[in-house]
Each structure stands twice: as C-alpha cells, then as structure tokens.
Structure 1
C-alpha cells in the first residue's frame, strides 16, 4: 500500500489547514486604471516588450528569500500588449486611484463573511519577480479582518480579506524566459484567507464551497476556468507549513489535503530513517568521464557538449525511490529543485539501470563518487552552468531531507490525483512595503447592502416562480443568474427563461453551436421577443444558432435571417387546414385521436413561426369541424 492510500487519524497527526481563495471581480474597469477587464486572445496583441526583474529590499532593508531564489533563475519576460493596454499596465505611469466599484464589492463580500472593515485602507506593494507583473511587485490592500463562517465540523475563522490586482496571464515558456499577456493584469481580485481552523480534508472542501457561494451571491465575480483559485496551507505536527498554490477545482481540495498529509508523513518517516542510518550528503563531483561511452541519449548529449554532475547520498539507498504521493517520490522532489535551474530532471541509482544506463555504468558511477552498497547517487546531465546550479540544488534538498520537512510553496499539478510539485520557498514579511503612488481609501460600510445569498435565491425561485428544486439550484448557482433575474423582472416567464438559459443553451452547445459567442443582449433580446409574441418558442433554437454564427446581428434581424417572422392567426388556420386536408382519411377514422400525429406536421409546416399553443388550438378546432 502506498502512503497516499493509507488512512490517517488527522487529529492524531495534528493536521492544521487553512485556505486562501482568490476570486476575480467582474467590474467595468481594472483596479488601478480605466482599462476594460475583458480577456483577449494572445493573437489579438498589437505589440510586445520585455523586462528583466530583480528583487528589492523591503522598508526594513531586508530581502525576501523567495524573491532571491526566483532571481537566481536568469530569465527574460516578454509581455503581449493590446489596443486597450495603458501606461499603468506597462509600468510606465503610476496609478492614481482605487476602483470604487471593486472596493464596494469587496466590502459587500466582507459583510457576508462577518469581517470587521478597516477604517482606512492602505495600498501595499508585494514583491513579485517571477514576471507576472511588469513592475516587479503586486499592489494589495487589507479591506477587513476577523470574520467567521460555519461548517458542519465547526466554525472556521476568516483571517482577512485583501483587494489586489490580478497578475498577468502566463502564455508560454520561451527560449529566454516566459511570455505573459497583459489583458489579465490589473483585474480586481479579492483574496480571502481563513484562520488555521480546518482539521480535515472534508472540512477544507466545505469551507471553500461556502466561501465560493458567498462570492457568487454578489453577482459581481467572473466565472470560468482560471477566474477563481484556491491556495491551501497544510501542516501536521511533525511536518511543516506548506502552501499549495493554484488549485482550480473545488472537488480537488480534499484530495490535495489528503496527499499533502501523506507526503509529510512519508517525509517524516524518511527523515527518521535517514537519521537512524547517520545519512549525509557528499560533495558534488563532475562524473562526465564515467559516461564517455554511454548509449543513453540524454547522457550522451551532455557528455558531448556539457557535463554530468553527481552527488553521493550516503545511506540514502532505497529511500530516494520512496513514494510520497501517487507517482511522485523523494527523487521527484529532488528533480523539482533541479528543474528550477533549467535542468530536465535527475537520474538516481534507486531507479537505475534504466533510460539506456547500464548496470556497469551504475557500478562505475558509485565507485567514482565513493558510494557503497547502502548509498545512492543523483546525477544531472546538462550544459555545465545548468548542471552545476541544478546539482547544488539537489544536494541542498537532500540535506534538508535528513533534518526536517521543509516549509515551502508548492503548485497543484494538472492531474486528477491531487498531486503537487515544488515551486519556491515560503515568502516572508520582507516582500511587503508601502505603495507611495496611491492615496489611502476611507471606505463607508454603511452604504453597503448585503446581497441575497444563493441558498436564499434557491428557496425564492421555488416559492415565487414555481421552479422545481433542481432547476432553481441550477439557475441560482449558474453563471447566468443575473441575466435570469433581469429577464424575469422584464416580464419573461420564469420557467421559460430558466429552461432556455440552463437547458436550451446546453443542448445547442452539444450540437456544436458556438453559444459562447452569444452575449447577454442576444439572450435577453430573444427571450423578450418570445414574451412579446414576436417569436414562437419553437423558433428560439434557430434564432440562437443564427446569432451564434452572426453575432453582429440583433435578435430582430436574426429572426428575419432565420425566416421566422411571425404569422397571424389567419395564416396559422390556413396552414393547419391544409395539414388536415392532406390527412382527411386519418381524421375521419380517428377523430381527435389523430391530433398528436398532425400536431407535429402542422408545426413543421409553420417552421417555428407560430407558438405551439396557438397551433394546438387551431388544430383542435379544425379537427372538431371535420368530425
């Protein structure tokens, strides 16, 4: 049984967890400039520029460890700018204000979380040198603190609510560094941090779901992939605090916590075993000559133009290959540190011979570095500079393994297993210093109205509008909830509006209609045409399909384009009479029993131009006259 499959008593292990929820706000403009918050495609960019970023000291004259490590990786950052990009986003002009709409939404969220609002909100700079901000720092401000939410396993305190600017969107790795897109940079973002009150994976997920419900209740948060991210802080009594960043899906949170507990338990056991063996890490050596005649492709290319750097891990035999999480081992942790410095990864003797490396080469490697039967060896094959930096990082991580579980920042992997990878050390207080370009804000919480919660909307949709429980929940928690309410307020039948927004659009998407091109104006316009009697319900699908293919059209123009301009009652009766005439024998034999079969034919003849109820009434009358 692997460590990830073991069952744990989380109370006995001393599990402590907390959450940081990051949610983009759906405001008209960005947090520190008047640019729009709509996302753009990279190919829409109109120009590019580059930056090299370096860490700076805090107001106390200290350098943040995470920023220093990030700066050791020499990279060029390229930014894609658009026709909407301004000088503030390029860091060529200071910001002058905090967006009032974003501040109002943040205060609204704070009220739902029972937070104490700040009398005065000060903007701070948080050092970030990974290229995700053109300035080398992120602007952030504390809006409220000391709140609470309820879960089935007890209350979870809310430490604070921050309002900050979203980072630039990462497009791709380049040969020289990273390419970012500026369309996302500066979108208002709230960060909600819980206190370390969470004691189980299930409680972590429930707390995240509750906070997510509060956020969506505002109707002012962006929806879709990447608009909300959960960071999870996890530790056990004998382990260390680890921050796991970038958990995209709520249903991954419990697996993330479970796997991090398993990882820390395994690292504690490895630490204890290494200490009992008197393990140590040897000196880094150049082992290139060992592989001069190798048939391993990776090693051969390094021998030809670089080097093979090696470090002996005394008394590590069998432990480097120890599984920590599904398909991730201590060797994977060492490899993560090597990759931070540009290496493709590492080889180690717990997994060799493999990858073209022979038994003879493994024996020669161990002999060369002075490793015995109970020892392991890790190697990095790359150009000389990369190999040296990477093997030093591997050696340092191995030394830490002997002493403790390291505090660090990890990233959630893009898999269904809930695994993570090393990113960087935990940041410290030295990364923060005051923003001098933006004046403080004095918010007025008395003007903030707490919105109706989604759970309350579900109940209201059932009692007021007669929706069944399932449809009411779909609409309330759906991304088009504000549009549903606008349509109903405008007089559209609630059941019809809910069915169109939650079912019809899903059916069209499954039929490969590009419904993502339909705007709220398109959707509301079509619903109103039906309500006003200018479009039959049966024609809605065709009109939506037309608008999706030609979004520049208005709903009225799409009705014309689809050939669905309404018909009057005389035309309906005439079309129905023709259908009955064609099926006169069936009508004579079955009477009203022929209704169902003829109804479909009548609707087809009218091609969605007339409402089904009108056609039904005319057909019943016509059959009645013939029988």
Structure 2
C-alpha cells in the first residue's frame, strides 16, 4: 500500500475543484424580511412536522439522489420562533430577492474577476432531506467565468450562485430529524471553481484565497458553520467524488490526499476481483445459523423479532477488510450503505470470528451461503425490513467494487476521511421558480472593496503596526472600529491591542466577550481619546462592560473607578510607594525600579498611563539614590 504522501498526482491524473458556500451578513433573509440572526433552540415557541417526497422535473425525470433519500421514511420536525414568518413555513409565496444580497454577491463577483449575468432568474433545486420546508432550495446564477491566482497557476471560477441557506439540523429523533428555522433563508453564495486544481496543496491554497476575498467585503458572516467547502476529486481511472461539508480550510489538502488514496485502493481491488473472477451472490436469510449465538448484537436483534441476512461475496476474501483510507476499509464502505437504511452496521468474515461470533458459526455461515476459502460473507442483523433493505444495499455496493470507483457524494469526516452520503445529484433536480420575478443587476453601481492583504500592507505603512498585529486587525471582525478609533486620535497600536489582544486575554479568563458591542468599543475609545481613561485600564473596562452589557463605557468606568489620574495624583502615589520602600531605594538605587513599578501600578489601579508612572518613578528614585 502506497502512502498518500508518496503519490505522483500528475501521473495519477488528479483533477479537483471546489465549491465554497458562504453565508452573507445581510440585515434580512433572501426572500423575506426576517432577521438573519441565529436563535437558541430553547427559544422556540412552537413546532410543526412535515413529510417530504421527490417530484418530477419539467422533463418528467426524478433525480436519483432525491429518490434514494425518499426511500428512507422519516418525519421532519421544525422549530419556529417569534421571528419565523409564513414564507419560512412555506405557507406564503416568497417575496422579491433581497437587494442587499444581490449587491454583496456582485461585489464578490468583481473580486473573483467574474462576469455578472444580464438577468438573474430564480430556480428550484430539489432537496428532500428535510433541510428545507418546501422540499427544494431556491438558487440563482449571478456570475460566471472568473479566475483566481495560486502559486501553482490560475484556477478558473466556473460560476457563482446566490441561494437560500438551509435549516439548521438540531438533532436526530426517534421518527426522523429535528431542524431549526432560524438559519433557513439566510443569503448564501456558492462559488464553484473549474476542475483546474492538480494537487492537494493547490486545493488548500485556492480555498484560502477565495476565503480571503470573501472576508474582504466585510459583508460575510463569521464563525463555525458560516462557511463550508465541498471538494470534488477524481483521478484518471477513478470517478468524480463530491465531499460535502468541509468545515476547516486546513483539512482540505488531507481530504484530497485521502480521497486519492481511496480511489487508488479501490482500483487495485477492482483489478484483484477481475483476476479472481469475483461475483456477488443473492442475499439470503441465515437466521438459523445464529439461533444460539453469544453475540450481543446479533442476539439482541433476534430477541426483538429480527433476523440475520447475508450476502456471499465470491472472490472477496481479504479484500473486504482491506484499508482504503486511514482506519476505513472496503467493509466500512459497505457498512455506510447499510446504515443509510437504518441498520447499525455489518459484520463480515474478514473480521470474524469476533464480537461474540464463534469459529463454528463462521463455518456454518459460509456453508449456508456456499462460500469457500477465497470468498467473503457480509451479514446484517436487524428487524426484518431493515435487514433486507440493508443487505440489498451492501450487495449493490459490492457489485460496484468490481467496476472500481462509484460516483457519489460523500461526507467529510473530522479525521479527514470521508463516508458515503448519497449518489451524485443530476440535472433533474433543477426547475424554474415561478413565484419570484427575475432581477436585472447593475454591476456598475458596485465598487470592489480593499483586499485584506492590501489592508495589512496599509496598516503597516500608514499606522506603523507590526506585520502580526496588522494581520490580526485586518482579518479580525473589528477593523472598522480600529480605523474609527485612529481617526479620533487614539494611538494605532493601542487601538489594535484593544480590539484584538485585550479581548483575547479576557476571553481566556472566561469573560463573556460575546456581550461586547460596537458601541461599547466606541465608548472606550472616546474615553481614551479624551484622556479620561489610561490604556492600562482598558482590559478592566472591557471586562466590566462584558459582564454588565447594559452599562455605557462611561458608566462602567465610573463604577470601576477607572478614571484617568492627573499627573499630581500619579506623583503623590509614586512618592508614597518610594518613601515606603526608602531603605530598598537607598541600597539598590535604580535597580529597585522594576519591583517598585509594579507596586505603583497596583496602587493606581489602572488609572494612570504606564509611561507617565515610569517617568515619575525614575525621577523620585534618582532624587534619593
């Protein structure tokens, strides 16, 4: 087995592309006037349920992915809030497309060097996994034919769609899935690159470049779940695989590497099966083999009225247990398909005897299905209907193993592997939306923003910030507050420290910094600009505001006694400290400075500027030395 790091990606014919999904930070949702703020599920004041089924496209076709999803009978429950409207519940037609969302999407199009279309038309995309109350997602093409630069060459941008975000998945229930409606309808751009990416490293670099361009607008949401990356990967003799829901940009290169390894291993398995003349037998009931089993899983299923179904895999011996990704085997792929039909998983003879299954039971199982030494057997133990559907799914997946790599949509796992999700969707899932009129955009009205990389350079040149600090501020969420503060006369380095490092430090002390508002920071900067607050008092003031968000900065400063001390007050406090330590000053002279400086700052309780305290302390020590 070749390590993924040793692959020659050019020789393998690696082709990859990205789909970046980014929520926009607009005031209203895409097709209604509801706010785009997320709510806690506990705030829900009512709920309702739906069952969704696939519909035919205008050509009379049903999308394969939607059809498979509909085979799993599930109830979808939706949590509604006092902000939920009839559009979100699918009890009222959608309103016109939000103007702000159109404007931001055109701004993004300019940054990606894309051509905005002459007319934006809304389409419906069938989605029957419950994540939309309507059974479809509204989507519209905004721009196409763009390009970004990477160190390994340009990557084309195929298109950019403006879509409504889906519901937020809250939890699995006994009957199906519970969703929250607060996220449904938030404007979302989907940016698809051309298949120009030729290495895992280039995939990661391209995603980071697009992410930087998106954040440069200042109008995209930040935080976990607000941006998701899908990665499309194939190799020359493999197949196109779409990996969904990549949360971290840092995982993209490892995901690509592991998918390449999976496809290489599956192609090797295909060749081996052809040499062995591999075949998949018919599923059959083998419950009798396990009537007296000590296996907890199988015994539990049988005691509940279930049965054991098996499928013989002729020529598969040793291949079902073969690792194709880190800690994932061909048998894991089979199990993914079984789980889609409600089964807990599968057992197979490459891993048995184990899990309470004995050697005698393995022999009896093989005999029951006519499997020999070169063959394998997979089994599912569950209620009769689930067991039958799950073993059929395993058999179908085993059939595709003899063809190599099946095209499919896969779920990106936290360990940078992937698992089966559903078939790739086709064109049959799209059809026109008749309730929303088209939009004729005017890109000439939109001016592109300053890139974050340019902002970093400007902060270094204009405000004399170090590169690290400039990066923190430019890529942070409060760069506009920073610039406002500098305009009012606050020292740039102090303003940068206030919006970034001070907030980080008090967060580490479990201070609820999420309570800090823009007006809180503006109040802090106003006190600094007017000389009414020493820079040393900023962390204490931010802490007080975070813990008492109803207060203004002035009120919190007064409550915490954080007013800036006058020079004579500073001198009186320093003299008191020096006289209290007169013997030490006489013995050590200026060497006593460091110890006394901390004592002076403590005595002034953050009310004095450190530079002023330092200057006065040096003077008083020199007088007595």
Same fold (TM over 0.5): yes
8 Å CA contact 2:269, 2:404 repeated in 1: no
When the two structures are superposed, what TM-score results if normalisation uses the length of structure 1?
Answer: 0.97
> Secondary structure of 2:154's partner?
strand
Contact 1:219 1:482 in 2 (8 A): no
Query: Alpha-carbon deviation of 1:86?
Result: 1.3
In the other structure, the counterpart of 2:87 is 88
Q: CA deviation at 1:512?
A: 2.2
1:170-181 counterparts in 2 under 5 A? 170-181=169-180
Equivalent pair of 1:4/1:326 in contact (CA under 8 Å) = no
Greater Cα offset, 429-438 or 481-490: 481-490
**What aligned pairs does 1:472-621 form with structure 2 within 5 A after superposition?**
472-590=470-588, 593-621=591-619
Q: Deviations over 1:566-603 (max 9, x none)?
A: 33334333323322332333444555554443332222
Determine if contact 1:40/1:183 at 8 Å carries over to the other structure.
yes
SS of corresponding position for 1:130: coil
1:122 counterpart = 2:118:
no
- Quote the offset at 1:623 in angstroms: 4.5
Q: Distance in 2 between matches of 1:231 and 1:35?
A: 28
Q: Distance in 2 between matches of 1:509 and 1:343?
A: 44
Rounded Cα–Cα distance in structure 2 between residues aligned with 1:288 and 1:167: 43
CA contact 2:115–2:144 (8 Å) conserved in 1: yes
Aligned residues: 624
Aligned to 1:334: 334
Tell me the equivalent position of 1:317.
317
Q: Is residue 4–residue 263 contact of structure 1 (8 Å, CA) maintained in 2?
A: no
Taking the aligned partners of 1:50 and 1:616, their CA distance within structure 2 comes to: 67
Secondary structure of the 2:196 match is: coil
User: Which residue does 2:290 correspond to in 1?
Assistant: 291
* Structure 1 contact 21–229 (Cα < 8 Å) conserved: yes
2:110 and 2:603 map into 1 onto residues whose CA distance is 57
Q: Which stretch of structure 1 is more off in the superposition, 26-35 or 293-302?
A: 26-35
Alignment of 1:235-384 (within 5 A): 235-304=234-303, 305-384=305-384
Structure 2, unpaired ranges of 5+? none
SS at match of 2:597: helix
2:53 aligned with 1:54, yes or no? yes
SS at match of 2:206: helix
SS at match of 1:403: coil
For the structure 1 residues 491 and 438, does the alpha-carbon distance in structure 2 shift closer, same or farther, using more than 3 Å as the test? farther
Q: Take 2:102 and 2:223, find their aligned partners in 1: how far apart are those partners?
A: 22
Q: Whole-Å Cα distance in 2 between the matches of residues 390 and 4 of structure 1? A: 32
- The correspondence of residues 139-288 of structure 1 with structure 2, limited to 5 A, is 139-288=138-287
| Structure 1: 4+ residue segments shifted above 6 A | none
The 3-state SS of whatever aligns with 1:126 is strand
Specify the SS of the correspondent of 2:6. Answer: coil
- 8 Å CA contact 2:488–2:529 kept in 1: the answer is no
Native 8 Å contact 1:263 1:324 kept in 2: yes
Per the alignment, residue 464 of structure 1 pairs with 462
Contact 1:312–1:371 (Cα < 8 Å) also in 2? yes
More moved, 570-579 vs 130-139: 570-579
Q: Distance in 1 between matches of 2:5 and 2:308?
A: 38
Instruction: Give distance in 1, aligned partners of 2:286 and 2:606.
Output: 78
Alignment of 1:7-86 (within 5 A): 7-86=6-85
**Tell me, which stretches of 5 or more residues in structure 1 are unaligned?**
none
Residue by residue over 1:414-464, the C-alpha shift from the partner in whole angstroms, topping out at 9 and shown as x without a partner, is 22xx10000000000110111111111111100111111111111101100
Change (3 A) 1:7 1:624: closer
Contact 1:22 1:190 in 2 (8 A): yes
Whole-Å Cα distance in 1 between the matches of residues 503 and 157 of structure 2? Answer: 38
Query: Which of residues 429, 435, 438 in structure 2 aligns to 1:437?
Result: 435
Give the drift of 1:523: 2.7
CA distance in 2, matches of 1:278, 1:486: 73
Give the RMSD, CA atoms, in angstroms.
Answer: 1.6
